[in-house]
A and B are shown apart, each in its own frame.
Chain A
């Protein structure tokens, strides 16, 4: 068997039957996959799916119990075997800049790793220059690593991993918590290293929208492969259509649809559902039938995204465990429209300085009762500080704000009685049980015994916790913990809810279920919800959004408005299927399509005049012998919006600097 694998020069990684156990917990449960030379291979899955364990096993830093992890034909099962392959691989562990030295500068960090890997001086200089240029870090050579932003740290981490030109790069969640702009830079380096140097890479990610960047991928769940193949192959596993439309009252519509469809979500004013029906007309007819007398407007259908398919697969795996559908119908009737008037949050010119650093710079926005307002931005953009000021943890340096009708500077106590807060870390007491946690927060808010009993029952029912009430919180899956944290934040029926990155580390189904809870809170109870997230795809659920960058709000509006505005400014998104996309991209850039970027096997480019540009690029590529496949128009994602806004700001700042 082994002689066979060695003889295939194309095979870089072969994982077969891999098993890794942590005490009783089975982290990797018989995993198989192979990676070929020159591929960018993705491992996608929620926290705890086993991604890190596989990567560490391949990098030779983790022992495993069963099966084999083979790199370059060597089974990595001993320290000696690991030493053999280590010179040929680069490993970036999970966590922002954890492999770097905070007290060294950017350049010193790179030089250190180069010396460790015995990179000759001349090559080091050339590579360093090239890598720093692509990552736009060349202005920061002398800056200490600890003074870099999260995204910059991660880019530096990647440079240090690639400086010895490894044949295989193993990158563990390199883009988690990194701002979208840095993420794009990150993918640009990988694409370049792959197409120019022929490097192979295994990359893990929790972002479903990054799946299109991979040549092939495996979706992991509970240590097993749920689906694998090219993005197109995985998407084709569950054929169907995504239908988006508007219907009022939205809650009633969602409740009716839920009885028929497994995946129904409300995204702002519209409803988003996944149907197994392949024909658009038939799908519409079916939906009309389910909706009955409810109106149906603005309907359009799309090909399903990877996330829709993965959720469908996960639902199939859970096999009806998802008891989401039953409950939502009962409350739907209580919703009477717009009884929730009034401003819940008013921020006016909020400023917060930490010593000489301005974390929040004149931020203003309003949130209405019953509205879900999203504050988006990278780590360090100032989102958390805004929330901390509004909740009274941190006093503002300047500006003013009103929360739940009270001035936040003078009525801190009154505000605290009326708001709920859920922090990044789901601040629960992990050594207490679910019930004990709820009871604690009921006590903290001074609820009397009868009252707290009622709220407890409500929370357990609302968050679907009945099977966990006597479990220690630390033993619960992330998705359940998250719902418990939400429940604890709601124990005193607050009018305003602050959620600080509440979905990090939760699997796609858990995230959807959570959002469903949030929209019910907003629509039925009129709770105002201010939420921060760096999952831009999630932000589609918000009624309104504000994008934060470097402490400022750089764009505000509904998700649709923001996209339209950016589309008007920079154009529509064309997705081009072409063979040998790496080389084709170089041709396109040479021909003047400057913003073109590689997404796995496809090329993305923005165009103000799609029909004219399509004709031109077909001509350009045909002239040099590339056969162009389908060219599709795609909706801009919120990430596109964010990146284009931030890039415009950076350009403006540079111009200002030059003048």
Chain B
């Protein structure tokens, strides 16, 4: 056989296997529906629903002063950040509400608050915060500090007889410009993050399940006695599943992210899809290794959960990568998702190209190649 004939045969084999994977997927209606949901409705829901910003923090007030000043201060706690849930007379009652989870914040304004301010004395308000949900509690506290100090500063300046443009005391204000997300729309981050999550989950699960199913049913033996290399068997799966995932991704992109959340695509769309394919290939490596270790679909499901769980939590979409302990960061060097996050936000929001992202791309290539190679080695070994 000439080299050319060999190449055609090789291609025919790969095409036959890839086509088979796609056919099988179309026959699995529940899985298809789940895939469709994950990249459409579920993106919509999480983009609209998940927010890390302080919203609707239930505020309870014990106003012992009932003065114009106290009322003005209370008035500064505004929706959507705060939700005023009521005033109480007895501070102990407030604590009970806090304990029962009916309120998150209890603001106490002491008697003589107005009087003290008017007479130029120092005075303080007390804020009790339920920080069971730490990020929310902490930002509520921070907001309160800002509100109180601004209020205090204004009153102080007013008392000194200075107000408005006449104020010429030395002060530092921060004037920030928001880049990459000018409207500060948090839905951008959340909806993209959700698409990344889904891409990763399916990239691990689909090829892994497809391979284990063949093991369970015994069809893999049929493939092994035919003139196919392990590479062809595994690569066909990844090829088919990557295609499907890219298709689903464009659904999310052009069906939800663009039209609903107006997420821009600043960089090259082609580059984004190419790098997504690379991410799917790399991540699929984990799935394939798991599939060579597992005996059945239940086992491979648990194993992939074991890999995907930490990957989703620690790669930087659930919490900032930079704020994690160094050892976690070190472990996460092996998470392709960690690089894919940089790539996605880079290409979509910052318009970055390969000249910026080459390090992440290189790391993914290396990781993907290693995993795929290891998977192939395991695949050959498991039957011997």
Contact = CB atoms under 8 A, between A and B. Distances in A.
Contacts of A424: 218
Contacts of A392: 224-225
Contacts of A448: 12
A424 B219 CA distance: 10
Interface stretch (B16-24, B241-249, B255-263, B358-366): B16-24
A394 B16 contact: no
B99 interface: no
Contacts of A421: 221-222, 225-226
B85 to A, nearest CB: 54
A395 B20 CA distance: 28
A444 B226 contact: yes
Most buried by B among A394, A446, A447: A446
Interface string B221-232: 111111110000
B9 A393 contact: no
A133 interface: no
Nearest to A391: B225
B227 A427 contact: no
Contacts of A393: 221, 224-225, 383
Contacts of B220: 427
A436 interface: yes
A472 B16 CA distance: 18
Contacts of B12: 443, 446-448
A430 interface: yes
Interface in A466-505: 472, 488, 498
B13 interface: yes
A284 to B, nearest CB: 46
Contact of A443 (B15, B24, B218): B15
A152 to B, nearest CB: 24
B72 interface: no
Interface string B189-221: 000000000000000000000000000011111
Given A416-B226, A421-B225, A445-B227, A427 B217 contact: yes
Contacts of A498: 225
A588 to B, nearest CB: 47
B15 A432 contact: no
A428 B214 CA distance: 10
B226 to A, nearest CB: 5
Contacts, number: 82
Interface string A430-470: 11100010011111111110000000000000000000000
A112 interface: no
A395 B384 contact: yes
Interface residues of A, number: 34
Interface in B338-363: none
Contacts of A395: 384
Nearest to B24: A431
Nearest to A417: B227
Most buried by B among A392, A430, A443: A443
Given A432-B20, A432-B23, A444-B13, A423 B227 contact: no
B322 interface: no
A394 B384 contact: yes
Given A416-B226, A421-B222, A432-B20, A443 B13 contact: yes
Contacts of A472: 27
A443 B219 CA distance: 15
Given A431-B28, A432-B27, A446 B13 contact: yes
B244 to A, nearest CB: 16
A573 interface: no
A427 B228 contact: no
A440 B24 CA distance: 12
A212 interface: no
Given A432-B20, A436-B23, A446-B12, A423 B384 contact: no
A445 B9 CA distance: 8
A432 B217 contact: no
Contacts of B222: 421, 423, 427, 488
Contacts of B219: 427-429
Interface in A364-413: 388, 391-395, 413
Contacts of A440: 16-17, 19-20
A644 to B, nearest CB: 34
A427 B227 CA distance: 16
A335 B236 CA distance: 41
Nearest to B8: A446
Given A395-B384, A427-B218, A429-B24, A444 B225 contact: no
Nearest to A432: B23
A428 B10 CA distance: 22
A436 to B, nearest CB: 6
Contacts of B223: 444
A425 interface: yes
B17 A416 contact: no
A531 interface: no
A443 B227 contact: no
A419 interface: yes
Given A423-B218, A425-B217, A432-B23, A441 B226 contact: yes
Contacts of A423: 218, 221-222
A448 B15 CA distance: 12
A427 B213 CA distance: 12
A232 B28 CA distance: 50
B24 A432 contact: yes
A444 B221 contact: no
B25 to A, nearest CB: 9
A391 B226 CA distance: 9
A108 B227 CA distance: 48
A443 B225 contact: no
A446 B9 contact: yes
Nearest to A448: B12
Contact of A445 (B23, B217, B226): B226
A443 B19 contact: yes
Contacts of B225: 391-393, 416, 419, 421, 498
Most buried by B among A416, A427, A442, A472: A427
Contacts of B227: 413, 416-417, 444-446
A425 B220 CA distance: 11
Contacts of A419: 225
Contacts of B10: 446
Contact of B217 (A430, A436, A447): A430
Contact of A444 (B8, B16, B218): B16
Contacts of B384: 394-395
Most buried by A among B20, B217, B220, B227: B227
Contact of B17 (A388, A432, A443): A443
Nearest to B20: A440
Most buried by B among A421, A430, A444: A444
Nearest to A394: B384
A96 to B, nearest CB: 17
A389 to B, nearest CB: 11
A393 B223 CA distance: 10
Contacts of B383: 393-394
24 contacts: A392-B225, A393-B225, A395-B384, A416-B225, A416-B226, A421-B226, A423-B218, A427-B220, A427-B221, A430-B217, A432-B20, A432-B23, A440-B17, A443-B16, A443-B19, A444-B13, A444-B17, A444-B226, A444-B227, A446-B9, A446-B12, A446-B227, A448-B12, A488-B222
A-B pairs, 10 with minimum CB distance = A443-B16, A446-B9, A425-B218, A427-B222, A431-B27, A421-B225, A416-B227, A427-B219, A391-B225, A427-B218
Given A393-B221, A416-B226, A429-B219, 7 more contacts: A419-B225, A421-B222, A423-B221, A444-B226, A446-B8, A448-B12, A498-B225
